Amino acid sequence: MSMTPETLVEVHDLNFSYDRRPILKGVHMTMQRGQVVAIMGGSGSGKTTLLRLISGAIKPTSGYVRFAGEVVHELNRDALFKLRRKMGMLFQFGALFTDLSVFDNVAFQMREHTNLPESMIRDLVLMKLHAVGLRGAHHLMPNALSGGMARRVALARSIALDPMLIMYDEPFTGLDPISLSVIGNLIRRLSDALGMTSIVVTHDVQESLKIVDYVYFIADGVIAAQGTPQEVRQSVAPFVHQFVHGEEDGPVPFHYPAQSYSRDLDLEDSIA
């Protein structure tokens, strides 16, 4: 896959195993600057693992992730630390610091990673909160926020350092349809306004098709399908169809791989 000047993230023939169990098997992806890209796939298909590989939290078995021209797994600790400052992350189940106000949650990384004077941090924090519509809530403690508001604060926090890339792991989970669409639109707007590339890992096909430029489907460790939202909607591939129409069983199996059920039951018998 060629690296154009506009490419921010290149995933090249990426392989990763946990304890010799292959999770990703030769994954290729390209993400351009300013793009919003969705990664979809069944539970346990390796989506969070992929984000961790991109951020350098874990190293590939083979292949590489190139971010802003640098091969992530080849960087030493200091270089990786610097690179991470260019990435924002909204983790799956990521929570706010409950003992810090909304303001201090957003200010946290700025105070940690920069030497900016407090007056400037104040302006920046209010700007980030304004971007997510919560400037007026800066003094609140997290327990005074609704789930949707908390998610928006987490979003403001993840863009605190003006990252080039922001990775969202399941940003829509547990939100009502209105908050969900607010978050979706925010992700799109922030990418457009700040020129950030966004990766959205999500099960929410309908919402993400409204906001993304491109979709990758992962199954069995490989990219099973990919395309623009329009291509995805029109796709007749059974795998894509199953996702877009939310069918429980199909090419994506309902069951985690297991030995045969009868063998499992026999095993229990012999233990009893």
Is 223 in contact with 37 (CB distance < 8 Å)? no
Residue 23 binding ligand ATP, by CB under 6 A: yes
Is 129 in contact with 156 (CB distance < 8 Å)? yes
Interface residue with ligand ATP among 1, 44, 136, 228 (CB under 6 A) is: 44
Question: Applying CB under 6 A, which part among 38-46, 175-183, 184-192, 225-233 lies near ligand ATP?
Answer: 38-46
CB closer to Mg ion, 138 vs 151? 151
Pairing of strands 214-219, 222-227: antiparallel
C-beta of 69: minimal distance to Mg ion in Å? 28
Interface residue with ligand ATP among 1, 3, 6, 18 (CB under 6 A) is: 18
Residue 219 binding ligand ATP, by CB under 6 A: no
54 SS3 class = helix
Interface residue with ligand ATP among 7, 11, 14, 41 (CB under 6 A) is: 41
Could you give phi then psi for residue 190, rounded to 5 degrees?
-65, -40
Interface residue with ligand ATP among 12, 47, 66, 138 (CB under 6 A) is: 47
Could you give phi then psi for residue 46, rounded to 5 degrees?
105, 20
Question: Applying CB under 6 A, which part among 47-55, 171-179, 209-217, 239-247 lies near ligand ATP?
Answer: 47-55
Amino acid at 156: A
C-beta of 256: minimal distance to ligand ATP in Å? 7
Size of the site for ligand ATP (CB under 6 A): 11
C-beta of 27: minimal distance to ligand ATP in Å? 12
CB closer to Mg ion, 50 vs 72? 50
Interface residue with ligand ATP among 15, 32, 48, 181 (CB under 6 A) is: 48
Q: For residue 268, what are the β-bridge partners?
A: none
Residue 174 touches which of Mg ion, ligand ATP, none (Cβ within 5-8 Å per kind): none
Who contacts 37 (Cβ-Cβ below 8 Å, separation ≥6)?
29, 31, 197, 198, 199, 200, 212, 213, 214, 215, 216
Please count the other Cβ atoms lying within 10 Å of the Cβ belonging to residue 243.
25
Residue 163 touches which of Mg ion, ligand ATP, none (Cβ within 5-8 Å per kind): none
Q: Which of residues 64-123 bind ligand ATP (CB under 6 A)?
A: 92
Residue pointed to by tokens 């971010």: 67
Amino acid at 246: G
CB closer to ligand ATP, 48 vs 114? 48
- Contact positions toward Mg ion, by CB under 5 A? 48
C-alpha of 228 from chain center = 18
Which residue intervals of the chain are DSSP H helices? 47-55, 77-84, 102-113, 118-131, 147-158, 177-194, 205-211, 229-234, 238-244, 261-271
Q: Which residues of this protein are in contact with ligand ATP, per CB under 6 A?
A: 18, 23, 41, 43-49, 92
